[in-house]
Structure 1
Amino acid sequence: MPKVHLVDYVAGNVRSLVNAVGKLGYQVEWVKSPEDVKNAEVSNAEMDKLILPGVGHFGHCIAQLSNGGFLEPIREHIQSGKPFMGICVGLQVLCQGSAEAPGVEGLGLVPATLTRFKSSTKSVPHIGWNSAIYRKTSQGMPQTFYGLRPESKYYYVHSYAIPYKHDMLNSEWVVATAKYGEEEFVGALSRGNVFATQFHPEKSGPAGLRTLQAFLTGESGPVEYSPTLVRMEGLTRRIIACLDVRANDEGDLVVTKGDKYDVRQIDKGDGRRKVRNLGTPIDMARKYYRQGADEIVFLNITSFRNCPLADMPMLEILRRTAETVFVPLTIGGGIRDTVDADGTHISALDVASMYFKTGADKVSIGSDAVIAAEQYHASGKRLSGTTAIEMISSAYGNQAVVVSVDPRRVYVSCPNDTKHHTIWTEYPDHAGNQHCWYQCTIRGGREGRNLDVQQLIEAVEAMGAGEILLNCIDKDGASNGFDLELIKAAKSCSTIPIIASSGAGSPAHFGEVFERTTTDAALGAGMFHRGIYTIPEVKHYLQEKGLIVRELDHDYP
């Protein structure tokens, strides 16, 4: 089996990249020292390919590579003409520097400095599926560009990018760009033996696998230009499938779904209330991947607290899912400081690290985020540096941390009756009150707290969260549409992406939430699990409404 070298340093979820390379028929050989890079240079032709993955902070990445002695060997590998691929921060390292880490120098091969996206008109980080459309070189159209297609979509997750300026790079580099709002940036570039992507090919489904295959084989066919296809460039509307996972009454791990967070129903056989069993997590995740889910979320709703950490069932679910599912995977539940069965204290960062190494791209934090937000406001809005959000985002980047919030409506007769942020609602309670606030809860919605959604968002943004998974207890299991008023209220105070959750019962509900709010993504569960509607049906409905969605590349595995 041919081999490819991967630089081994702290770079988030590299398991998915290893799995993608393996699926394409290659074996990973880890580069653990500078000498290993040099060995790659003198190896035979099928072993000289070097991939530099990376997520998170530019300065942290440069420091890790510098402290490990990798920077100069990587530069020498590139200068020797051997194939090199950089992914995400692996692309950014090639630049002169980044506004994310002023004064920190990159390799300087790309004459550009990364800047942060403007958050005044859109959410930052830029998370989701976007284009990578090549631009003309000064000599005309490029002849090869690693399998990129203008109609395909690729998965991006970043806050900093190379701003694209015509002819700034084109004299030396072949460039593919994407647009986020009013900003155009470099999505991929190549020159000679160097290829780098801002997106993650290993998380970009069949389109990403095709790009990886092109690099590994060196077979990049002629690029075809189609103005019709390019018209659909830009960020898509993300459709996320969510799997609530827990042990059923027989001890098996199953996907379930609640009604107002109650996951039990009357068994027709013996009349007992049993956990709803809607299928096995791995099989359902694979099904949704094949259907075109843009992301998959596993919410571990019982956290399996009695299991030794290294043997947690969710680790095995993640490991097996990541072998064949090449879209982003999020895991929630149990991301907290804990004590293992043998008495060993394990930090939330260690728990998250284990998930990342197993195949997760993001971790979702729920109740602990609410408690941390309360402490943040009680301390005069001072950061402690010790919360799970701060520790994980510092090590792996903001985009690796999702905060999942479970709010419920609390009605008041007028806004002055509470100190919390209220909204006027067109849906009064039984007493006719038309003002309410959204109370954060913990313990699966069983305990309300003196904290509203807006206060939570302010706190977790300051701590470093990269995304909000916005549930709604009042809408859970109702299948009558998302709580648009809640989503609008959350978006009005947030600069990070919001995922709308709870209430989806039909494709029309997805169309409604995207057309009537500025939500960044929408999540479905029960309607997919029960087979009432499929993900392709939702996407087809959105396309008919003129909204951009990711379509599957059916000509590639």
Structure 2
Amino acid sequence: MAALSSTAASADVSEERGKVVVSLLDYGAGNVRSVRNAIKASGYTTVDVLTPEDIEKAQVIVFPGVGSFGSAMETLNDKGFTGPLTEYIKQDRAFFGICLGMQTLFDGSDETPGLKGLGVIPGMVASFDPAKTAVPHIGWNGLCVRKEHPFVDDFDTDGDAVYFVHSFRATSTPENEEWVLSTTTYGGGAGEPPEHFISSVQKGNVTACQFHPEKSGKVGLRLLGAFLDSVGKGKMGGVSAEGSGNSSGGGGSARGNEDTKLVKRIVACLDVRSNDQGDLVVTKGDQYDVREAGTQEGKGDVRNLGKPVELSGRYYEEGADEVCFLNITSFRQGVLDDLPMLKVLELASERVFVPLTVGGGIRSHTDDSGKTYSAVEVASRYFRAGADKISLGSDAVYAAEALLKRGGELTGDSSIEQISHVYGKQAVVVSVDPRRVYVANPEDAPKHTVLKVKESDKGGPMGQRYCWYQCTVKGGREGKDIDAVSLAKSCETLGAGEILLNCVDMDGQKDGFDLELVKAVMGAVSIPVIASSGAGAVEHFSEVFDATGVQAALAAGIFHRKEVSISEVKDHLAEKGVPARRAA
């Protein structure tokens, strides 16, 4: 089996680092492209594991598990990989598991009761408690290093952070303590202590981590490169790559704070659409008006603020914690035919090693020949192109309306349910696009969550001091009889893992985020929320974090026009004592 093509420079580095070729266990779920790109960026080439025999021939296996525990183990079983992979690991051969690739090493998971894992590490994987903290655990967090190993030796426990996205976790027990390489804490507050979970494991030549090094920026690339280097040099925790045995074990003092900290995320959003010349451009407007002022001859051109791949690369270098691509015209076309957007993801994933979200028209689709593709099949195209999460808009509104009409009964038919079942709810973001509907009194909108307008707000056209937030579909062109709070709660029930909360009225106004709306949604759901719409100054970011406790904040136009840079936002948050990731 030939290695995938790579640049001459990468080949040279690979030769210097011991000529190790990485066998990538791609079992067909999620964004494996980014792992492949990260391995290439670290100077190594890959071959795909296609048959059980390929496992036996491997020099080192990387297992980038993505999705749900059940779908991963079922696929391994169906392909005949489970037995050979278990034997490979028990022979203490070089192995690196990522996220679900670590969880499958345990006996099993509460995510799929009754289904056995690989059984290499004693213990069960269980869910975080949604009553005590937001689930999934999404974002950048630290590591408390428990023992020495090349994988984490260069990790700065005082300043580095890595990216997590998971709902289930393993915890340390006397039976698996010798495996624990690092731990991380999550949750806590309001009288509840934080929860310590295993963030990486290592024993002999087997290493795995709960976080995603391929999405952890330059820190993650450094960690991944250190592991692969240790394989090439035959130095894995002081054990020969050809030999067997354990490294230093769980003894010794921990390096870094016992309690790590989840930092606030800054998300750069790129509204992407085709202009009149057919080119994909990043655009931005106020309340969806993305054209320049028209002339006497007709409408103005689509506002062009740059090329999506180049802009995403710039934001990565500035320190963006995530990049979100929203295809704002895809609802007018078949998303499976959206080859330019898929190419954007492929190219961006080669240079942007933080999470990529894509949204716009992702739903079940029937092509011109009459063939129908499920929402999962459509989403899989974007995951395979480089997306880590997909964002659902209009389709989520329709699903929430149907759920409420059924009295909360789940059917498994919605896009949210189908995609989260296969890829895990952490892969599903719901983009909520509400606009204010002003009322004189809360009693005027008895079916909806009505909020009081803040004193500094001018209120409604007739001086109304109350409003409810009407959800919209079709790019904001049509309002529905469901409010933002009800939508968020319904989508959490359906299986969404995150809410991207916009506000049409605040979009482009630069007056700050709608704090009352953010607080209302935060109080209604237990999944993470991203605040969007209205940022115009660095102070607006610290304001929304302090006032609402929201996990992330998103901006677009002010970044595109260089009115405010991401690095300036990060510097401001540091000055205000708001935990934020430094760009390493």
TM-score, normalisation: structure 1: 0.92
Aligned to 1:11: 29
Q: CA RMSD in A?
A: 2.4
Correspondence for 1:23: 41
Q: Is the 8 A contact 1:200 1:208 kept in 2?
A: yes
1:73 aligns with 2:96: no
> In the alignment, which of 190, 204, 207 is matched to residue 219 of structure 2?
207
Change (3 A) 1:274 1:239: same
Pairing partner for 1:109 from 92, 117, 120: 120
Q: Is it true that 1:511 corresponds to 2:517 in the alignment?
A: no
User: Which residue of the other structure, out of 218, 225, 228, is the alignment partner of 1:216?
Assistant: 228
Distance (Å, rounded) in 2 between the aligned partners of 1:169 and 1:86: 17
Distance in structure 2 (CA, Å) of the matches to 1:414 and 1:147: 59
Percentage of matched positions with identical amino acids = 50
1:254-292 CA distance string (max 9 Å, x none): 101110221122168988522111000010000001111
Query: 1:101/1:349 Cα in 2 relative to 1: closer, same or farther (>3 Å)?
Result: closer
Letter in 2 for 1:192: G
What is the aligned partner in structure 2 of residue 376 from structure 1? Answer: 403
| SS of equivalent residue, structure 1 residue 450 | strand
2: CA distance, partners of 1:149 / 1:268: 56
Following superposition, the deviation at residue 50 of structure 1 comes to 0.6
| Residues 1:159 and 1:228: Cα distance change in structure 2 (over 3 Å) | closer
Q: Which runs of 5+ in 2 are unaligned?
A: 1-10, 12-18, 188-193, 239-247
**Corresponding position of 1:45:** none
- The correspondence of residues 383-398 of structure 1 with structure 2, limited to 5 A, is 383-398=410-425
Code of the residue aligned with 2:168 in structure 1: it is Y
Residue 290 of structure 2 is aligned with which of 248, 253, 263? 263
* Residue 431 of structure 1: aligned partner: 462
**Cross-structure match for 2:450:** 422
Residues 107 and 117, structure 2, Cα contact 8 Å, conserved in 1:
yes
Equivalent residue letter for 1:162: A
Shift of 1:342: 4.6
Counterpart contact for 1:146–1:221, Cα < 8 Å: no
Structure-2 residue corresponding to 1:157: 165
Distance across 1 between alignment mates of 2:532 and 2:428: 17
User: Distance between the aligned counterparts of 1:329 and 1:36, measured in 2?
Assistant: 31
1:122-159 CA distances to partner (integer Å, 9 max, x unpaired)? 210000011122125xxxx6687464331311110001
Q: In 1, Cα distance between the equivalents of 2:83 and 2:373? A: 36
CA distance in 2, matches of 1:340, 1:412: 43
Q: Which residue in the other structure is 2:183 paired with?
A: 177
Task: Output the amino acid matched with 2:167.
Answer: S
Is the contact between residue 16 and residue 323 of structure 1 (CA under 8 Å) also seen in structure 2? yes
Structure 1 window deviating more from structure 2 (213-222 vs 511-520): it is 213-222
Alpha-carbon separation, structure 1, partners of 2:149 and 2:279: 54
Aligned to 1:44: none
CA drift of 1:444 comes to 1.3
Q: Say if 1:459 and 1:83 are closer, same or farther in 2 by CA, change over 3 A.
A: same
Query: 2-side partners of 1:143 and 1:247: how far apart?
Result: 46
Amino acid at match of 2:319: G
Q: Deviations over 1:372-397 (max 9, x none)?
A: 11111112222231211111111111
Distance 1:269 1:546, change over 3 A: farther
Equivalent residues in 2 for 1:193-342 (5 A)? Answer: 193-218=205-230, 230=257, 233-266=260-293, 272-303=299-330, 305-306=332-333, 309-310=336-337, 312-342=339-369
CA distances 1:161-204 after superposition (whole Å, capped 9, x unpaired): 11246x6644x224211111211111111111010000011111
Unmatched 5+ stretches in structure 1: 41-47
Measure, in 2, the Cα distance between the counterparts of 1:538 and 1:168. 44
Of stretches 400-409 and 22-31 in structure 1, the one that deviates more from structure 2 is 22-31
2:109 aligned to 92, 98, 102, which one?
98
Match of residue 43 from structure 1: none
Is this contact kept in 1: 2:90–2:120, CA < 8 A? no
What is the distance in 2 between the residues matched to 1:384 and 1:369? 14
Q: Secondary structure at the match of 1:454?
A: helix
* Alpha-carbon spacing, 1:270–1:220, altered in 2? closer, same or farther (3 Å): farther
- Per the TM alignment, residue 49 of structure 1 is displaced from its structure 2 partner at its CA by 0.3
1:518 maps to a residue whose letter is G
C-alpha spacing 1:184/1:130, structure 2 compared with 1 (3 Å): same
Q: Deviations over 1:505-551 (max 9, x none)?
A: 11100000000002111001011000011101000100111111111
In 2, the alpha carbon distance for the partners of 1:274 and 1:142 equals: 56
SS of the residue 1:451 aligns to:
strand
TM-superposed CA distance for 1:22, in Å, is: 1.4
Query: Would you say how many aligned residue pairs link Structure 1 and Structure 2?
Result: 539
Does the alignment pair 1:413 with 2:440? yes
Aligned-pair CA distance for 1:357: 0.6
Aligned residue among 521, 533, 537 for 1:490: 521
User: What does residue 137 of structure 2 align with?
Assistant: 126
Which stretch has the larger CA shift, 392-401 or 262-271? Answer: 262-271
1:478 to 491, 509, 512: 509
In 2, Cα distance between equivalents of 1:191 and 1:230: 23
Counterparts in 2 of 1:94 and 1:463: CA distance versus 1, 3 Å: same
After TM superposition, give the deviation of residue 228 of structure 1 in Å: 10
- Worse-matched range after superposition: 267-276 or 150-159: 267-276
Counterpart of 2:431? 404
Q: How big is the shift at 1:103?
A: 2.3
Distance verdict in 2 for CA 1:466–1:254, change over 3 Å: same
- Helix, strand or coil: the match of 2:198? strand
Shift of 1:348: 2.0
Partner of 1:58: 69
Residues of 2 paired with 1:529 and 1:505: CA distance?
12
Partners of 2:256 and 2:510 in 1: how far apart? 35
TM-score normalized with structure 2 length: 0.88
Counterpart Cα distance in 2 of 1:229 and 1:176: 10
Contact 2:335-2:361 at 8 Å conserved across structures: no
Q: The residue matched to 2:549 in structure 1 has which SS?
A: coil
Tell me: CA distance 1:271–1:375, structure 2 relative to 1, closer, same or farther (3 Å).
closer
